[in-house]
Amino acid sequence: MNAVELARQAYAPTNNPLKSERSIEAQVIGKITAKLRLAAVRRENDFPAFVDALSKNRQLWNLLATDVAGAKNDLSPTLRAQIFYLAEFTDLHTAKVLRGDATAEALVEINTSIMRGLNIGQGN
């Protein structure tokens, strides 16, 4: 291969378009939700995996709450408050799930709704 062909390959556009922040957020939430959904089904046989999935989901929502509470967040105050409320709900509901007083279904539904919202206008 000659130098011209090597340069052409090096500077050719890639087939992997850059992802938007929204699509990355949706992808992360999707992975955590899938793990939570599967772990909930296998709860009786693999409780540690279920606890791990709940913990990862709780960490995600703590991160989202921290982000929307920051002064540099560009979302509207109403949307920021709604996300913060969902983070609080997730934390409280997760405790109920761990005590056996609730199922993880509401957590999966919330995450799924958030993913849908993130994917609106993204062509997904």
From the first residue on, what is the mean pLDDT of each consecutive set of 10 residues in the chain (124 residues)?
57 59 89 97 96 98 95 92 97 97 97 89 51
Distance in angstroms (rounded) separating the CA atoms of residues 12 and 31: 31
Give the pLDDT score at 114: 93
Distance in angstroms (rounded) separating the CA atoms of residues 74 and 95: 30
What residues does each domain of the chain span? 22-119
**Residue found by looking up tokens 């993913």 in the block:** 115
